[in-house]
């Protein structure tokens, strides 16, 4: 008789738009959870369904076999990992930390360098797929780190993502880099599309005709074909992903370009448009709000 290998207990810190769906899926897949967030109320449903609460990140790490962070920015990641009561204060030697935040490698690099004697296993595994994908368990996941570690944690990742789209993209930091480049290109598509639709409509072309022509043309993209429809059809600017976080991603992306010495004029411009939209509509406005800047400019909503 073969017995199922025991499932690791998963520690999870950051139960926001993304983490809430991801933890629900882990729980439904049968993983025991130990969770923490600065907003305890975010854990209510998980606790009711059997998850345990950790008062600190250290407590979460000490009580779990692997610990996942899903936090807004590199600053939050640093605080939760290396700060007082942080993961490093609780994780056992040889323990595993997976950062699924959209972030940069500095914190993990520092931990690897300063804690080398502890044999910690660290992976970066940021995701795409929006809060809807987090809720459905269909996230795309880009993993950077050692192949044996990726293979070992794959079942846990598969509880949150689409198994076909969980990609080991390279060494430590490669996951963060791939994720930032994806977001950069998607935000660039958004701004370029907003500009083109606004100019075309202002020039007298019917919006639906213009979009159909774009979709049938070599200029088509999944943004024009699919993603823009949430605004054009439903007026939904995706508040599941706050523009403050989009600006964070764009800033990190421009920083990365600077760090590797590649001029990135388009990325820098897109970042400025996003910052203007954030200044105009507030931190919590949705990631697609730059479209509104153009709608305001031409004095009408872009709706089919
Ligand atoms: P969010 O702001 O909704 O959630 C973050 C959570 O972290 C919040 O619940 C917050 O209370 C908690 N938190 C902050 N500081 C903490 C601390 N010190 N200790 C414990 N908990 C703390 O953000 P989100 O939209 O879930 O995004 C999380 C990450 O995923 C970000 O890096 C974001 O860029 C990335 N991401 C988001 C989306 C999306 O559509 N929302 C998609 C892909 C990737």
CA nearest to 64, candidates 94, 33, 40: 33
What pLDDT, on a 0 to 100 scale, did the predictor assign at position 1? 45
Q: Going by CA atoms, what residue is nearest to atom 5 of ligand 1?
A: 16
What pLDDT, on a 0 to 100 scale, did the predictor assign at position 65? 97
CA of 72 to the centre of ligand 1 (A): 4
Among 11, 12, 14, which residue has the most ligand 1 atoms within 8 Å of its CB, making it the best to mutate?
A: 14
C-alpha span between 166 and 224 (Å, rounded): 25
CA distances from 242 to 25, 109, 224, 237, 239 (A): 22, 27, 21, 10, 6
DSSP state, 302? -
CA of 100 to the centre of ligand 1 (A): 10
Give the position, in ligand 1's atom list, of the atom nearest the Cα of 83.
18
CA of 70 to the centre of ligand 1 (A): 6
CA nearest to 141, candidates 286, 25, 287: 25
- Residue 59: both structure tokens together: 């407590």
CA of 103 to the centre of ligand 1 (A): 11
What pLDDT, on a 0 to 100 scale, did the predictor assign at position 195? 98
CA of 219 to the centre of ligand 1 (A): 33
What pLDDT, on a 0 to 100 scale, did the predictor assign at position 6? 76
CA nearest to 98, candidates 161, 185, 162: 161
User: Please, are residues 166 and 157 in contact by the beta-carbon 8 Å criterion?
Assistant: yes
C-alpha span between 249 and 134 (Å, rounded): 18
Mind listing the pLDDT tens digit for each residue in 178-212? Answer: 999 999 999 999 999 999 999 999 999 999 999 99
Global pTM value: 0.94
Is the minimum distance from the CB of 245 to ligand 1 under 6 angstroms? yes
**Residues with catalytic function:** 179
What pLDDT, on a 0 to 100 scale, did the predictor assign at position 2? 47
What pLDDT, on a 0 to 100 scale, did the predictor assign at position 285? 98
DSSP state, 270? H
C-alpha span between 171 and 28 (Å, rounded): 30
Is the minimum distance from the CB of 183 to ligand 1 under 6 angstroms? no
What pLDDT, on a 0 to 100 scale, did the predictor assign at position 5? 55
Q: Going by CA atoms, what residue is nearest to atom 43 of ligand 1?
A: 128
Name residues of the chain where pLDDT drops below 50. 1-3
- Name every residue whose Cβ is closer than 8 Å to that of residue 53 and which is 6 or more positions away in sequence: 34, 35, 36, 40, 43, 47
Q: Which residue do the tokens 């944690």 mark? A: 153
Q: Going by CA atoms, what residue is nearest to atom 16 of ligand 1?
A: 38
Give the position, in ligand 1's atom list, of the atom nearest the Cα of 103.
32
Signed CA dihedral, 104, 109, 110, 115: sign only: positive
C-alpha span between 33 and 159 (Å, rounded): 13
Q: Going by CA atoms, what residue is nearest to atom 20 of ligand 1?
A: 37
């Amino acid at each position: 008789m073969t017995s199922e290998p025991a499932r690791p207990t998963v520690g999870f810190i950051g139960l926001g738009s993304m983490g809430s769906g991801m933890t629900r899926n882990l729980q439904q897949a049968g993983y025991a959870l130990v969770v923490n967030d600065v907003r305890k109320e975010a854990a209510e449903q998980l606790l009711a369904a059997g998850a345990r609460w950790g008062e600190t990140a250290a407590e979460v790490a000490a009580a779990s076999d692997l610990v996942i962070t899903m936090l807004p920015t590199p600053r939050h990641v640093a605080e939760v990992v290396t700060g007082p009561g942080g993961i490093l204060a609780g994780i056992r030697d040889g323990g595993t930390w997976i950062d699924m935040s959209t972030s940069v490698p500095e914190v993990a690099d520092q931990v690897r360098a300063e804690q080398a004697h502890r044999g910690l296993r660290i992976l970066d595994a940021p995701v795409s797929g929006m809060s809807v994908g987090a809720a459905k368990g269909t996230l795309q996941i880009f993993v950077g780190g050692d192949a044996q570690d990726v293979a070992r944690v794959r079942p846990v990742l598969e509880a949150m993502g689409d198994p076909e789209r969980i990609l080991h993209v390279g060494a430590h930091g490669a996951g963060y880099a791939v994720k930032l480049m994806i977001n950069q290109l998607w935000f660039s598509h958004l701004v370029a599309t907003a500009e083109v639709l606004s100019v075309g409509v202002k020039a007298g072309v019917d919006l639906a005709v213009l979009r159909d022509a774009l979709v049938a043309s070599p200029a088509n993209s999944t943004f024009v074909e699919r993603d823009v429809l949430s605004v054009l059809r439903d007026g939904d600017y995706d508040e599941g992903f706050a523009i403050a976080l989009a600006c964070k991603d764009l800033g990190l992306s421009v920083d990365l370009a600077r760090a590797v010495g590649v001029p990135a004029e388009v990325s820098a411009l897109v970042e400025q448009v996003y910052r203007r939209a954030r200044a105009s509509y507030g931190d919590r406005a949705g990631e697609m709000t730059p479209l509104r800047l153009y709608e305001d400019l031409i004095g009408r909503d872009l709706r089919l």
